[in-house]
C-alpha cells in the first residue's frame, strides 16, 4: 500500500467567487415586473424561492425521468455512471490509517451518481442554450447522494461514451407519450362506439 501524504491545511487555496442572485436589485426588479407582489417582503420571497427549489430537487430525486424546469429552460435528472478510472480517495480514512484508501462504492456495485442538466430539447429550440448551465447546491448534492445509496438501481444508466442528448430524447419521447395517453384517457367514452 502506498503511504498517504496528508494535505497541507495551511497552504494557500483557490476559492471560487460565490455569486448571490437574491440581492436588493433582484427584488426591486421583481417588484417592478410584478407589481401585485409589492407587499411581499424580501424574507418571504426568499422563503418561497427556497421552498420551490427544494420541491424541484426532491422531485428530481424521487422520479426516474427527472424534471423539466419551468419556462422549458432544460431538464434535470439523476443518472448512474460507471466508476471513473481516476482514484476516488477517502481522505478521512486515509488520514486516520496513514495509507491511501480508495472509496470503491460497494453499496452501489461500484456505480456513481451524477446530476445531469441538459438544455437540448426535441420540442423547442432554446435560444442560446449553450450558455445555460446548472450548479447544484450543497443540500441538493447531499440529498442525491443519500437517496442514491439507498436506491441506486432506479436511476437512468448513462453511458459515458454517448452524448446526453440520446438519453434526453428518450425521456422527452416518454413525456410526450404519457401526455397523449392522459389526453386519450380524459376524452375516452366507452359508450361512444356502440
Residue 93 lies in a domain: no
pTM: 0.69
- In the DSSP assignment, the letter for residue 77 is E
State the helix-helix crossing angle for 138-150 and 42-62, rounded to 10 degrees: 20
Residue 41 lies in a domain: no
Residue 139 lies in a domain: yes
Residue 142 lies in a domain: yes
Render each residue's pLDDT in the chain as its tens digit; 194 residues.
677 777 788 888 888 887 788 899 999 999 999 999 999 999 999 999 999 999 999 999 998 888 888 877 788 889 888 887 778 788 888 888 888 888 787 788 888 888 988 877 656 666 777 777 888 888 999 999 999 989 888 888 887 666 665 556 666 667 667 777 888 878 877 767 55
C-alpha span between 13 and 162 (Å, rounded): 35
Q: Name the residue with cell 436588493.
A: 24
Q: Which pLDDT score, from 0 to 100, does residue 182 have?
A: 81
Q: Write b or e for each residue in 142-154: b if 16 or more Cβ atoms lie within 10 A of its Cβ, otherwise e.
A: ebbeebbeeebee
Residue 39 lies in a domain: no
Q: Which pLDDT score, from 0 to 100, does residue 79 have?
A: 87
Residue 35 lies in a domain: no
C-alpha span between 157 and 143 (Å, rounded): 19
Q: List, as one string, the DSSP characters of 22-48.
A: -SHHHHHHHHHH-GGGTTS-HHHHHHH
Residue 28 lies in a domain: no
Q: What is the number of structural domains in the chain?
A: 1
Residue 14 lies in a domain: no
The grid cell for 90 is 477517502
- Enclosing domain of residue 81: 63-85+113-185
Amino acid at each position: 500500500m502506498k503511504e498517504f501524504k496528508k494535505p497541507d491545511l495551511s497552504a494557500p487555496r483557490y476559492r471560487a467567487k460565490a455569486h448571490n442572485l437574491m440581492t436588493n436589485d433582484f427584488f426591486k426588479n421583481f417588484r417592478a415586473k410584478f407589481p401585485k407582489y409589492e407587499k411581499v417582503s424580501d424574507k418571504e420571497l426568499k422563503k418561497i424561492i427556497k421552498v420551490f427549489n427544494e420541491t424541484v430537487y426532491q422531485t428530481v430525486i424521487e422520479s426516474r425521468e427527472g424534471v423539466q424546469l419551468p419556462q422549458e429552460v432544460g431538464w434535470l435528472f439523476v443518472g448512474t455512471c460507471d466508476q471513473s478510472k481516476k482514484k476516488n480517495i477517502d481522505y478521512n480514512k486515509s488520514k486516520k490509517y496513514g495509507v491511501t484508501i480508495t472509496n470503491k462504492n460497494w453499496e452501489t456495485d461500484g456505480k456513481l451518481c451524477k446530476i445531469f442538466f441538459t438544455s437540448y430539447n426535441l420540442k423547442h429550440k432554446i435560444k442560446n442554450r449553450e450558455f445555460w448551465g446548472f450548479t447544484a447546491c450543497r443540500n441538493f448534492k447531499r440529498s442525491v447522494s443519500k437517496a442514491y445509496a439507498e436506491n441506486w438501481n432506479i436511476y437512468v444508466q448513462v453511458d459515458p461514451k454517448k452524448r446526453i442528448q440520446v438519453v434526453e430524447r428518450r425521456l422527452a419521447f416518454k413525456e410526450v407519450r404519457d401526455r397523449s395517453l392522459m389526453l386519450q384517457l380524459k376524452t375516452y367514452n366507452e359508450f361512444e362506439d356502440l
